[in-house]
Amino acid sequence: SRVAPSPPPPLVGDVEEGSSDAVARSTGPLAKLKRRFSHSAPLDYEKYLQFMRARLHSQAQQSQSTADKAVAVRKRAEHEANKRLQEIHHQAHTSSPAVPL
């Protein structure tokens, strides 16, 4: 019995982006995720990406909110400190007896 010759390996350009060959050969941060989700329906991978994007967006908003609050607290603290400093200066000038120069 004759063994049929195997087809030549596809060129990189011939491999469809979503095919399992492309997924198996791909490298980079998403490659591991792609391989993990490639056995399931492609929709699951898309859902996962949407979920991750939403989560990152939410975390970014929370970070921005926290940063905004921190800026507000710092400004308020600076304002209070400056006000207190002015009060101290004012008291020092008014309560001490005037000394002629």
Higher pLDDT, 37 or 10: 37
Question: Burial level of 23, CB count in 10 A (0-12/13-18/19+)?
Answer: buried
Segment 14-72, tens digit of pLDDT: 444 455 555 556 667 677 777 766 666 666 888 889 999 999 999 999 999 999 999 99
What pLDDT is stored for residue 31 in this prediction?
A: 76
